[in-house]
Amino acid sequence: MTRQMFISESALKSLAEELVKAGTRLVGPARERNGDLVYREASDLGEIELGGDPPTRSLKEFFLPPTEVLLTYRQKQGDVEVTPAPHVFAPLVVIGARPCDAAAVAAVDKVMDWDYHDELWFGRRLATTIVSVACGGGDASCFCTAVGLAPDSAKGSDVLLVPVEGGFHAEILTEKGEALVKAHAARFTEGGKAEAAKAYRDAARGKVQANLSADPAKIRAFLEAGFDHPIWKGIALRCHGCGACAFVCPTCHCFDIVDEPDSIERGTRRRNWDTCQAAKFTLHGSGHNPRNEQNCRIRQRMMHKFAIYPARFGEILCTGCGRCIRVCPGGMDLLETLDKLGRLPAGAPAEAKRGAP
């Protein structure tokens, strides 16, 4: 049973101060020099925007950085000496995470603990406490309600805050959340303000629902039967294959492992972000490429998120954050595609007339 409490705006500010003073890294949506809102380390709650615009990049980079050292190696007279990278997982508290970003981290947990337990991912996961703030309903690109989430989803969060008059209604969801509350007990008051929070939550849900109502089960059924459906042929015409969608996606987690030599004897092995939207992603050494053009790559993206991952892990690999739509320079629109797919009957390919995408 989640505990319900209340924290005032000023108490939250004090809590953040205490964290920083204790040497905990504080992260939240804050502005960069060029005005972009991103999750970044802040020294004060004043820098953090608890609501408003969606951050341009997701929270995933704090668990899976764009590049990280796995090991260094050194060849010595035929032997190879390998030194694992000395990773330190410093305590981190995220304040103001979007529920869609918190949910994404929880979804990716599944694959990171599948055939291989990713110590780096979980090292950072365990060191991090996520305090989400329920979202007010986002913008025209948001569709969390169509993938089983909501602007106030608790999934992946340790504490969920819902804005109410003078502060936040707080739901303490996990042990990590309890620990945070315990460490800053004076900042919270018992009871919560669930009643007051309800209007905000309902309004936000209604706002996102208006963007798209789709049934993920129906979409999955179509995808599982529709690999050869003619709709895929024109799906990616305006797509440039740039992969920006995957890099800003909170759930895309593909990576590439590269060795960077410093010399013939020594070097570093790194893990870098990668994307199935890049032509090189599935290129074989022979020169053959099973996903040889962009339509296949977009299909792969759809399949992985809405059929393959759900089949294997019971989770949709999309939280409806809408970043891929906001960032796409070609005007690709996942929300629109889902709407279209959701209307197609599963099973035998229809004689699809190719309209203008």
> Applying CB under 8 A, which residues contact other proteins?
32, 34, 36, 41, 56-57, 61-62, 65-69, 124, 140-141, 234, 236-238, 240-244, 246-248, 256, 258, 260, 262-263, 270, 272-273, 275, 278-280, 292-295, 325, 327, 329-331, 333, 335-336, 354-357
The smaller minimum CB distance to other proteins, of residues 230 and 357, is found at 357
- Residue 100, SS3? helix
The smaller minimum CB distance to other proteins, of residues 169 and 253, is found at 253
Question: From start to end of the chain, where are the E strands?
Answer: 3-8, 25-31, 37-41, 67-76, 79-84, 92-97, 128-133, 159-164, 167-172, 188-190, 255-261, 266-273
177: part of which helix (H) or strand (E)? helix 175-183
**At closest approach, how far in Å is the CB of 237 from other proteins?**
5
Cβ of 227: how many Cβ atoms within 10 Å? 11
Do 298 and 219 meet the contact criterion of CB atoms below 8 Å apart?
Answer: no
For residues 231 and 41, give the distance between their C-alpha atoms in angstroms, rounded to a whole number: 43
Angle between helix 216-225 and helix 334-343 axes, rounded to 10 deg: 80
The smaller minimum CB distance to other proteins, of residues 152 and 274, is found at 274
**At closest approach, how far in Å is the CB of 98 from other proteins?**
17
- Residue 123, SS3? helix
**At closest approach, how far in Å is the CB of 152 from other proteins?**
24
**At closest approach, how far in Å is the CB of 68 from other proteins?**
5
For residues 101 and 142, give the distance between their C-alpha atoms in angstroms, rounded to a whole number: 12
The smaller minimum CB distance to other proteins, of residues 167 and 250, is found at 250
For residues 53 and 228, give the distance between their C-alpha atoms in angstroms, rounded to a whole number: 38
**At closest approach, how far in Å is the CB of 125 from other proteins?**
12
For residue 347, the Cα-to-chain-centroid distance in whole angstroms is 31
**At closest approach, how far in Å is the CB of 34 from other proteins?**
5
The smaller minimum CB distance to other proteins, of residues 65 and 349, is found at 65
**At closest approach, how far in Å is the CB of 155 from other proteins?**
23
The smaller minimum CB distance to other proteins, of residues 57 and 201, is found at 57
The smaller minimum CB distance to other proteins, of residues 118 and 333, is found at 333
How far, CA to CA in Å, does 163 sit from each of 56, 109, 252?
22, 28, 29
